[in-house]
């Protein structure tokens, strides 16, 4: 079976989200025009089906992607443990940023939020037309994001959905309210098949205690916990935690080897931004149930999802639950 045939193109109609109450302790970002919130029925629940992102029964809210800061002073993160999918991306200087994709659960607030990158557009096209929450970008990239098929909603375009946390230093203090942000993108699409397959662990695999993906200035380690039955994450050698105190991690971690070429954009210091190529094919390692599985990934087009196949041609199944996607340099 061709990889592209495993990816459905169905998209579901939206149902408006409830109006989110303002966080009492937050101070709002102001001074820029905001998108008007679309009226929606207050009592209309999101449909509950098996999520194509997690393989679990959940409400299917519109898809929202949030760019997370991952500098040391940005930790611990808020709401990252509630994402359906977490992406780990390399940025300038070999640092890393995170992106959480939400649908099943919409926390009251998530963050800290930071800027988007050009390759996020390619990555997110597999979700149809999702909403994207980010703090900003260089002016040229802002134009590219606004002209993209995404519902790009930075804090200066939708200030009512964001707030500054008084207990954190800038620029690590910007947070977003997912429900409020989604109200500025009433046509954001609901989840559809992006190629993930869930089920029992396949035969084979190699016993693995831990795996590390290293960038020039950041490391990401995933250590198997038999007691918790999941891979526990560490950033730069320190346990990764949520502000709730929960250790971050997942039952399935995918290390996807991709090309990360220089993009046409630079940061404020002149460092070139990597462009993560998520369309194509290559090698991947899937971690689940204390084992690692050698796989191949394939994504024929930006509009389609990514399939993961074992050497025998069978789909690589993930364990139900949150999935972490970690981009590593092609080898």
Which CATH number belongs to the domain containing residue 324 in this structure?
Answer: 3.50.90.10
Residue 143 within a domain: no
Q: What's the rounded Cα separation, in Å, for the pair 179 and 153?
A: 13
β-pairing, 260-266 vs 252-258, is unpaired
Residue 242 within a domain: yes
Tens place of pLDDT for every residue, the chain, 331 residues? 444 444 444 444 333 333 333 333 333 333 333 444 444 433 466 778 999 999 999 999 999 999 999 999 999 999 999 999 999 999 999 999 999 999 999 999 999 999 999 999 999 999 999 999 999 766 778 889 988 999 999 998 999 999 999 889 889 999 999 999 999 999 999 999 999 999 999 999 999 999 999 999 999 999 999 999 999 999 999 999 999 999 999 999 999 999 999 888 766 666 788 999 999 999 999 999 999 999 999 999 999 999 999 999 999 999 999 999 999 999 8
- Give kind and range of the element (H or E) at residue 59: strand 57-59
Tokens of 35: 């998108």
For the beta carbon of residue 309, count every other beta carbon within 10 angstroms. 19
- Is the sign of the CA dihedral 208, 195, 47, 24 positive or negative? positive
Residue 286 within a domain: yes
Residue 278 within a domain: yes
Domain count for the chain: 1
Residue 231 within a domain: yes
Residue 17 within a domain: no
Residue 281 within a domain: yes
- Give kind and range of the element (H or E) at residue 90: strand 85-90
Instruction: Choose among 249, 259, 263, 251: nearest CA to 297.
Output: 259
- Is the sign of the CA dihedral 15, 186, 242, 168 positive or negative? negative
pTM: predicted TM-score of the whole model, two decimal places: 0.86
Quick check: helix, strand or coil at residue 230? strand
* C-alpha 95, offset from chain centre: 17
Q: Which domain holds residue 221?
A: 206-258+265-329
Residue 106 within a domain: no
């Amino acid at each position: 079976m061709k990889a592209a045939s495993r990816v459905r193109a169905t998209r579901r109609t939206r149902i408006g989200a409830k109006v989110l109450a303002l966080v009492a302790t937050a101070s709002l970002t102001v001074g820029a025009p905001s998108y008007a919130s679309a009226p929606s029925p207050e009592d209309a629940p999101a449909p509950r089906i098996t999520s194509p992102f997690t393989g679990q029964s959940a409400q299917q809210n519109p898809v929202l992607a949030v760019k997370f800061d991952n500098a040391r002073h940005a930790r611990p993160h808020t709401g990252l443990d509630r994402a359906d999918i977490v992406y780990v991306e390399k940025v300038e200087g070999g640092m890393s940023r995170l992106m959480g994709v939400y649908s099943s659960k919409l926390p009251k607030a998530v963050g800290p939020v930071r800027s988007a990158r050009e390759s996020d557009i390619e990555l997110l096209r597999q979700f149809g037309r999702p909403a994207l929450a980010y703090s900003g970008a260089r002016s040229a990239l802002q134009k590219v994001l606004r002209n993209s098929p995404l519902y790009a909603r930075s804090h200066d375009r939708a200030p009512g959905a964001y707030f500054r946390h008084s207990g954190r230093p800038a620029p690590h203090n910007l947070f977003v309210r997912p429900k409020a942000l989604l109200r500025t993108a009433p046509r954001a699409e609901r989840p559809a098949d992006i190629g993930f397959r869930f089920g029992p662990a396949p035969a084979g695999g190699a016993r693995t205690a831990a795996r590390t993906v290293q960038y020039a200035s950041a490391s990401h380690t995933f250590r198997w916990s038999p007691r918790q039955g999941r891979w526990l994450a560490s950033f730069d050698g320190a346990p990764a935690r949520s502000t709730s105190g929960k250790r971050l991690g997942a039952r399935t971690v995918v290390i996807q080897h991709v090309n990360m070429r220089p993009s046409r954009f630079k940061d404020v210091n002149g460092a070139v931004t990597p462009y993560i190529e998520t369309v194509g094919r290559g090698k991947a390692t899937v971690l689940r149930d204390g084992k690692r599985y050698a796989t191949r990934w394939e994504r024929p087009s930006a509009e389609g999802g990514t399939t993961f196949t074992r050497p025998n041609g069978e789909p690589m199944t993930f364990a139900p639950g949150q999935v972490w996607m970690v981009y590593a340099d092609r080898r």
